[in-house]
């Protein structure tokens, strides 16, 4: 039985919160997506099926609206408001990202709704929180990220290049993670108390606490991290961790060897590749392999031998990387116990046998076209209460009659 | 204020950020999180314990700034589970816990004799949530990761880049943060399932699975249309990934390393911007298709224009037009200068037994009935040994002293 089965979520369509609704729907909640008669703009976001725009062809909309039913309601009209209130009376969660004053102007604010349904959990996701007028200014994923902190830490050693924002709507995702965590917290409380509540999620605050040491280095001692190519931003420059392999693809070299067994395996691999003679420092790998007891890592930089051994470890990794392709580097290093990874494109990641073996490719039937498509799968595996895409994204108003009939 | 999760007890082996970040959420909402560390290695498995940043130069295993940030309001005990007595005490603790959580490499807990089947034998309805990079099943399950490796493998590093450059990736462990969020969700989903059915379960969480889901539209475009990701060296992730928006980027402003992010979503916003810029070159770009096809030239013009302005005043002016814009805020600016986060109450001060008062990351949400609270800093090594062993396991002072003398705690 899905963990959220039996729960009804009312989602007022908005691109910023669609992912939170998906997280709920895929765990079994009955999510009812409410759109205006004209439909949510994200129905026309690329990419499109067969690269052709048109009705029900947005793969963006398909992805973010799985496991939802769709209805249209005109919340500006009395009839629409009446139906909305009927829906709220039987709902567990209201998920919305409306302008901060809108629901109040419509007479549909939390105080009113909670009178009708004290068990309601109302989640409002806004750029700066519900009490901040800045939340009503226009935003995109990019401008939210800039305001919330991530790009400051991302980019290149060369600071003439601008900071970088990663793709994929991650500002929206981060806020949606917190919206969902809040919903679950409130549901657990409601199960013991019977009480609903109002939840105010700030998107930029969510990003502010998702920047690792950029925030806490400032909070703890007033230091500022600076961006570096392909690795953690830091208050002092650190060694490179990204390398290009023989096939042109990049790898992240992660944590270099630290234990004697790792030096031994690395040396062994170097010999198998017939590269030992090409690495003058190989003798230090040998010393590392035969070291008695753990290394005192604090002596790197001051003790000549330990410094030479650790430097030889990095040099050996560099040499191997230029000699093998990225996937071979990944497998070889991991078999030696080193945490490294190939820098896959999303496509390469999706096609990797590991994720296929874990069941990440999920088949979703689109019975309307008689076809079945492969979707990305579960973020977590709960065997007793499984994640599941229960239906494809709804067409505009597809379930209006069905849902209204349930109300009467 | 009531606590949403009071009465929930977590037997917590998590550490670093991908695990500790999850139980930080639970403790902030009132769950009793008992963090268990290894007395032999003095808790060094969690490398953040003794790692910078340090407050006022105080160094050592109880002074890691990140460790304090991620472990607020948790109880901390030491337990040597290599010893028989240590195993007995852990067994007693599991009997009175709702959840066992960990983010070790796959199989570590099992090696200690506390895999899911043993946990279930101790407590039938236990919830066990494991969190590791590649999960406990699949060809790479024995492979090790940390945040940047998860990001590399899953496609997130690749899709953060500028053209003609190697990937920029994420300058922090985005997937340790997000992996922790998914772990918190998994724990709470399993708690809800247990409330509904009385059943526990083992959640096998793989951070790389979670990371892959964060590129959904690109994956559908691939699996349905066969569209490959743009070749390495051609990604410009400051531009819009799919929607037609131009200009859309991060542009230079006056001063040292100052930048502004700007997105123009439609013709109306472009007209407002062009009127504000008030220069003849903007007329060349009045057609949207033209703007999209000539983004390099457009970006050059925008950069030449923005570089004369202060990022905050320019952003304020553009927001009034209104078009989406924001300065790229530096940590000091978003924490202590621009008031939005402070007004939201995002940076609570906690009291740490050794470090004193320290500000930490709060939570970006407010719940009207059961809001979060952060009061106590992270536990020093073994700080709550006496409290937990006496209050929860009923040991007396002599017994606890013996455990310490024998190296069990």
Q: What is the mean pLDDT of residues B146-162?
A: 97
User: Residue A75 has which token pair?
Assistant: 């919340």
- Which residues of chain A make contact with B240, given a CB cutoff of 8 A? 140, 142
Best mutation target, B8, B64, B171, B221, to test chain A (most A CBs within 10 A): B171
Closest in B144, B181, B188 to A185, CB measured? B188
- At B89-119, the pLDDT tens digits run 999 999 999 999 999 988 899 999 999 999 9
Query: Closest-CA residue in chain B for A230?
Result: B168
For residues B115 and B128, what is the distance between their CA atoms, to the nearest angstrom?
A: 9
Q: Are residues B361 and A209, on separate chains, in Cβ contact within 8 Å?
A: yes
Domain boundaries, chain A: 8-210+363-407, 250-342
Q: Is the pLDDT of residue A167 over 80?
A: yes
Q: Are A202 and B365 in contact (CB under 8 A)?
A: yes
User: Residue A200 has which token pair?
Assistant: 């105010």
Q: CA of B356, closest CA in chain A: separation in Å?
A: 11
Closest in A175, A178, A358 to B135, CB measured? A358
- At A351-385, the pLDDT tens digits run 999 999 999 999 999 999 999 999 999 999 999 99
The 3-state DSSP class for residue B181 equals: helix
Distances from the Cα of B118 to the Cα of B13, B97, B176, B292, angstroms: 16, 14, 28, 60
Domains defined along chain B, listed by start = 9-212+343-405 (3.40.50.10540), 259-327 (no CATH)
The CATH number of A8-210+363-407 is: 3.40.50.10540
Q: Are residues A63 and B220, on separate chains, in Cβ contact within 8 Å?
A: yes
Q: Are B260 and B250 in contact (CB under 8 A)?
A: yes
B123-153 CB burial, b ≥16 within 10 A, e <16 = beebbbbbbbbbbbebebbebbbbbbbbbbb
Q: Is the pLDDT of residue A255 over 80?
A: no
Q: Which of A91, A145, A222 is nearest to B53 (CA)?
A: A222
For residues B238 and B226, what is the distance between their CA atoms, to the nearest angstrom?
A: 24
Q: What is the mean pLDDT of residues B252-265?
A: 98
- Which residues of chain B make contact with A358, given a CB cutoff of 8 A? 135, 137-138, 206, 209
Q: Establish if B216 touches chain A: CB-CB under 8 angstroms.
A: yes
Q: Phi and psi dihedrals of B36, rounded to 5?
A: -110, 125
Q: CA of B398, closest CA in chain A: separation in Å?
A: 35
For residues A191 and A198, what is the distance between their CA atoms, to the nearest angstrom?
A: 16
Looking at residue A256, its pLDDT comes to: 80
Question: What does DSSP say about strands A197-202 and A121-126: parallel, antiparallel, or unpaired?
Answer: parallel
Q: Is the pLDDT of residue A320 over 80?
A: yes
- Which residues of chain A make contact with B269, given a CB cutoff of 8 A? 138
A335 CB-near residues (< 8 Å, 6+ apart): A265
Q: What DSSP character marks residue B279?
A: -
Distances from the Cα of A80 to the Cα of A407, B226, B304, angstroms: 13, 41, 50
Mean pLDDT of chain B: 97
- At A97-107, the pLDDT tens digits run 999 999 999 99
Looking at residue A361, its pLDDT comes to: 98
Q: Establish if B376 touches chain A: CB-CB under 8 angstroms.
A: no
- At A9-52, the pLDDT tens digits run 999 999 999 999 999 999 999 999 999 999 999 999 999 999 99
Closest in B186, B242, B257 to A46, CB measured? B242
Residue A254 pLDDT grade (very low, low, confident, very high; cuts 50, 70, 90): confident
Q: Are residues A128 and B344, on separate chains, in Cβ contact within 8 Å?
A: yes
């Amino acid at each position: 039985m899905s963990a959220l089965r039996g729960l009804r979520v009312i989602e007022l369509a908005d691109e910023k919160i669609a992912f939170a609704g998906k997280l709920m729907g895929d765990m079994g909640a009955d999510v009812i997506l409410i759109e205006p008669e004209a439909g949510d703009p994200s129905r026309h976001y690329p990419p499109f099926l067969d690269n052709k725009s048109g009705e029900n062809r947005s793969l963006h909309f398909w992805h973010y609206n799985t496991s939802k039913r769709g209805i249209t309601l005109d919340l500006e009209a009395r009839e629409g408001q009446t139906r909305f209130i009927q829906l709220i009376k039987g709902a567990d969660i209201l998920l919305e990202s409306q302008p901060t004053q809108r629901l109040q102007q419509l007479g549909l604010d939390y105080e009113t709704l909670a009178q009708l349904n004290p068990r309601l959990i109302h989640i409002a996701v806004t750029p700066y929180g519900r009490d901040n007028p800045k939340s009503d200014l226009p935003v995109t994923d990019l401008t939210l990220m800039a305001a919330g902190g991530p790009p400051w830490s991302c980019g290149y050693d060369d600071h003439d290049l601008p900071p970088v924002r990663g793709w994929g709507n991650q500002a929206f995702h981060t806020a949606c993670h917190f919206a969902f965590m809040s919903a679950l917290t409130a549901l657990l409380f409601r199960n013991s108390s019977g009480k609903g509540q109002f939840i105010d999620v700030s998107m930029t605050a969510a990003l502010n606490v998702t920047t690792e040491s950029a925030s806490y280095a400032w909070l703890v001692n007033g230091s500022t991290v600076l961006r570096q190519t392909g690795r953690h931003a830091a208050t002092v420059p650190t060694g490179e961790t990204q390398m290009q392999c023989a096939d042109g693809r990049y790898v992240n070299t992660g944590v270099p060897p630290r234990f004697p067994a790792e030096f031994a395996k690395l040396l062994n691999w170097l010999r198998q590749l017939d590269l030992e003679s090409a690495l003058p420092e190989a003798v230090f790998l040998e010393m590392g392999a035969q070291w008695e007891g753990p290394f005192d890592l604090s002596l790197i930089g001051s003790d000549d031998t330990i410094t030479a051994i650790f430097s030889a470890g990095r040099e050996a990794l560099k040499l191997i990387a230029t000699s093998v392709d990225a996937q071979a580097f990944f497998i070889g290093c991991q078999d030696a116990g080193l945490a490294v990874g190939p820098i896959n494109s999303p496509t390469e990641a999706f096609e990797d046998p590991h994720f296929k073996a874990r069941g990440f490719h999920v088949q979703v039937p689109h019975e309307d076209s008689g076809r079945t498509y492969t979707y990305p799968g579960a973020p977590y595996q709960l065997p007793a209460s499984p994640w599941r895409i229960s239906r494809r994204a709804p067409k505009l108003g597809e379930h209006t009659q069905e849902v209204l009939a349930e109300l009467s | 204020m009531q606590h949403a999760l009071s009465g929930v007890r977590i037997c917590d082996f998590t550490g670093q950020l991908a695990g500790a970040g999850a139980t930080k959420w639970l403790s902030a909402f009132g769950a009793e999180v008992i963090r268990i560390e290894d007395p032999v290695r003095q808790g060094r498995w969690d490398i953040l314990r003794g790692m910078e940043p340090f407050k006022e130069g105080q160094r050592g295993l109880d002074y890691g700034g990140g460790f304090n940030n991620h472990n607020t309001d948790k109880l901390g005990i030491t337990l040597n589970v290599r010893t028989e007595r240590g195993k007995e005490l852990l067994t007693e603790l599991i009997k009175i816990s709702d959840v066992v959580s960990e983010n070790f490499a796959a199989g570590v807990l099992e090696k200690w004799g506390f895999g899911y089947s043993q946990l279930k034998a101790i407590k039938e309805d236990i919830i066990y949530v494991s969190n590791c990079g590649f999960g406990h099943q699949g060809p790479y399950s024995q492979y090790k990761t940390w945040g940047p490796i998860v990001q590399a493998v899953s496609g997130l590093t690749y899709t953060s880049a500028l053209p003609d450059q190697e990937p920029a990736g994420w300058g922090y462990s985005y997937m340790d943060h997000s992996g922790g969020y998914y772990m918190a969700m998994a724990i709470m989903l399993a708690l809800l399932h247990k409330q509904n059915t009385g059943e526990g379960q083992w959640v096998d969480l793989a951070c790389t699975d979670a990371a892959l889901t964060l590129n959904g539209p690109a994956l559908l475009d691939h699996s349905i249309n066969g569209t490959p990701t743009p070749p390495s060296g051609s990604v410009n992730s400051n531009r819009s990934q799919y929607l037609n928006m131009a200009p859309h980027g991060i542009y230079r402003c006056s001063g040292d390393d100052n930048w502004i992010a700007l997105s123009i979503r439609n013709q109306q916003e472009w007209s407002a911007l062009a009127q504000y810029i008030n220069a003849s070159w903007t007329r060349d770009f009045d057609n949207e298709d033209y703007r999209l096809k000539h983004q390099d030239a457009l970006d050059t013009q925008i950069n030449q224009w923005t570089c004369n302005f202060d990022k905050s005043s320019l952003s304020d002016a553009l927001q009034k037009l209104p078009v989406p814009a924001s300065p790229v805020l530096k940590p000091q600016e978003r924490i202590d200068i621009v008031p939005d986060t402070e007004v939201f109450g995002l940076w609570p001060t906690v009291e740490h037994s050794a470090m004193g008062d320290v500000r930490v990351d709060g939570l970006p949400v407010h719940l009207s009935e059961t809001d979060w609270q952060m009061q106590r800093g992270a536990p020093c090594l073994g700080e709550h040994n006496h409290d937990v062993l006496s209050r929860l396991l009923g040991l007396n002072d002599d017994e606890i002293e013996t455990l310490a003398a024998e190296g069990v705690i």
